[in-house]
Structure 1
Amino acid sequence: MANDKPNQPQDESRRRFLKYSGTALGGVVLGGVIGGLVGSNLKQTEKETAPEPGKSGTAPEDRDYNQALMFFSQDQFLTAEAAAERLFPKDDLGPGAKELGVAFFIDHQMVSQYGYNARDYMLPPYYKAEETQGYQLIFKRRELIALGLDALNQYSNTKYQKPFVEITPEDQDAVLTAFEKNDTSIKDFPASNFFAMFLNLTLEGAYADPLYGGNRNMAGWKMRNFPGNQMSYTEYVDKDEFVKLDPLSLHDHLELG
């Protein structure tokens, strides 16, 4: 009967060969400097290379992985960020749209059911809507916002010979006002439709739950003393005085649970 037990001395020798030949090969490929370090690196002790207890080898970075583009091009995002900041600017009361991450909120909405008009009836026949009926266009919201942001740059380039993000804040206000008052036009729909929708999205991004990309660090809520998504108010409803609560997001409930 054959011996099923592995030959341990042979395996150990094979491991050492793979370890050191792989290291040496890396030195050859990457150049003489790294190759020259192979010997000294192999001589380092575990005590010298191991991180301190409770710490990783590299310092952790503070990253918000929710702040990522899903729909906008880079130019559209920067235009949205600049336009939102003029509609919701930073002041003595708190941060503006840029610091709150409002443009990320708008970007994320464009890839949601809202951006695709998933719950709206979008089939013909189409009729001209009354002004009081609000948004009644054949364009999906994501299409309207993208076309509107491109139009902001086209209008700015025509009038000021610079894209929207490079003109002065006063000129940016003038461009946005032209869109609000329909002093310019966008292909196949009124500029005011874009302005009204973008304004609403800006306000939503400033005050929505941070889960959706805006209201960074719940700073929008903190400006308003809004408690956010609390689990319950039963211990406060009978109190006569105003109770100021630290806001909680939906993410906080996940951590608490």
Structure 2
Amino acid sequence: MAEKDQEKKEDLSRRRFLKNSGIAVGSLAVGGALGSMIPWGTEEKDTNQAANQGANYNQALMFFTQAEFQTVEAAAERIFPEDDNGPGARDLGVGYYIDHQMAGSYGFNARDYMQPPFFHGEKEQGYQGRLKRREIFRIALREVQNYSHQEYGEGFAELTEEQQDSVLQAFQEDNVNVTTISASGFFDLLRSMTLEGVYSDPLYGGNINMDGWRMRNYPGNQMNYTDIIDKDFQEIEPESLRDHM
């Protein structure tokens, strides 16, 4: 009985401490662990939470400047434009996917052997230079802007769709004189990353709302198919890796 009475006293003491602590810290505790016990400011807090529920914090630049991002986004949109089948690269967040890749290990060529000596490789061997992908993008985007101003007097993002197509085609066909990189090599890299952004898991920044998968009726990253494997063919809603975290 003595032990039970002691436990009861400790429990009451613990509750009293929490209650008194909540009163003592006052408004400073709002939003913290103790703040949940205090009713002050809850209306404003709830309003802020509601406003942030729809925010996509994955859409934040990590490498590109705003001007570079606008050029990448516009170029990706011309490679994968919006049509009757669904959204284009811009609405799918492809620009953010490419930006995040450039900021990460892919942009640093972390898995590639990048030490000298460097030799001129055959075209089928792929890129053989010393520049990292992030450096290629930074140089190429500047050249895209220079070529756009040279040909049309405006930056790439301000050009008409037909003019943008003309600029990209000039890079694709190596009709742009770029000294440090291959113009067509940059276009191939941009095209490849655009398609990756369209069809990658939304966790990586692109394929917003999994609409890229929906256009292909692709189910995404399902954990398993045990509940439908013995049934007739059916379309299922795609799932992201985030859905299983």
Q: Does 1:171 align with 2:163?
A: yes
Per mean C-alpha deviation after superposition, the further-off stretch among 95-104 and 141-150 is: 141-150
Task: Provide the residue aligned with 1:249 in structure 2.
Answer: 240
Partners in 2 of 1:242 and 1:209 — Cα distance?
24
Task: Provide the residue aligned with 2:62 in structure 1.
Answer: 70
Partners in 1 of 2:240 and 2:41 — Cα distance?
40
Count of aligned pairs? 208
Q: Does 1:187 align with 2:179?
A: yes
Shift of 1:48: 11
Task: Provide the residue aligned with 1:56 in structure 2.
Answer: 46
Shift of 1:189: 1.7
Mapping of 1:1-257 within 5 angstroms? 51=43, 56-58=46-48, 59-61=50-52, 62-239=54-231, 241-254=232-245
Shift of the 178–235 alpha-carbon distance from structure 1 to 2, 3 Å rule, reads same
Identity over aligned pairs, percent: 52
Shift of 1:237: 3.0
Unaligned runs of 5+ in 2: 1-23, 28-38
Partners in 2 of 1:228 and 1:126 — Cα distance?
40
Partners in 1 of 2:173 and 2:207 — Cα distance?
28
Normalization by structure 1: what TM-score?
Answer: 0.76
Shift of the 236–192 alpha-carbon distance from structure 1 to 2, 3 Å rule, reads same
Shift of 1:245: 1.0
Shift of the 125–228 alpha-carbon distance from structure 1 to 2, 3 Å rule, reads same
Structure 1 residues 190-231: Cα deviation after superposition (integer angstroms, max 9, x where no partner): 100100000000000001000000000111011111111000
Partners in 2 of 1:146 and 1:79 — Cα distance?
11
Normalization by structure 2: what TM-score?
Answer: 0.80
3-state SS of 1:158 partner: helix
3-state SS of 2:51 partner: coil
AA paired with 1:181? E
**Matched-pair contact (CA < 8 Å) for 1:147–1:186:** no
Shift of the 121–238 alpha-carbon distance from structure 1 to 2, 3 Å rule, reads same
Structure 1 residues 80-122: Cα deviation after superposition (integer angstroms, max 9, x where no partner): 0000000000000000000000000000000111110011111
AA paired with 2:76? A
Task: Provide the residue aligned with 2:4 in structure 1.
Answer: none
Per mean C-alpha deviation after superposition, the further-off stretch among 80-89 and 149-158 is: 149-158
Shift of 1:161: 0.7
Shift of 1:182: 0.1
Partners in 1 of 2:187 and 2:170 — Cα distance?
10
**Matched-pair contact (CA < 8 Å) for 1:105–1:213:** yes
3-state SS of 2:174 partner: coil
Per mean C-alpha deviation after superposition, the further-off stretch among 76-85 and 182-191 is: 182-191
Shift of the 152–56 alpha-carbon distance from structure 1 to 2, 3 Å rule, reads same
Pick the structure with greater CA Rg: 1
Shift of 1:50: 6.2
Shift of the 250–184 alpha-carbon distance from structure 1 to 2, 3 Å rule, reads same
AA paired with 1:96? G
3-state SS of 2:43 partner: coil
Shift of the 204–48 alpha-carbon distance from structure 1 to 2, 3 Å rule, reads closer
Shift of the 48–139 alpha-carbon distance from structure 1 to 2, 3 Å rule, reads closer
Task: Provide the residue aligned with 1:5 in structure 2.
Answer: none
**Matched-pair contact (CA < 8 Å) for 1:181–1:192:** yes
Q: Which runs of 4+ in 1 moved over 6 A?
A: 47-50
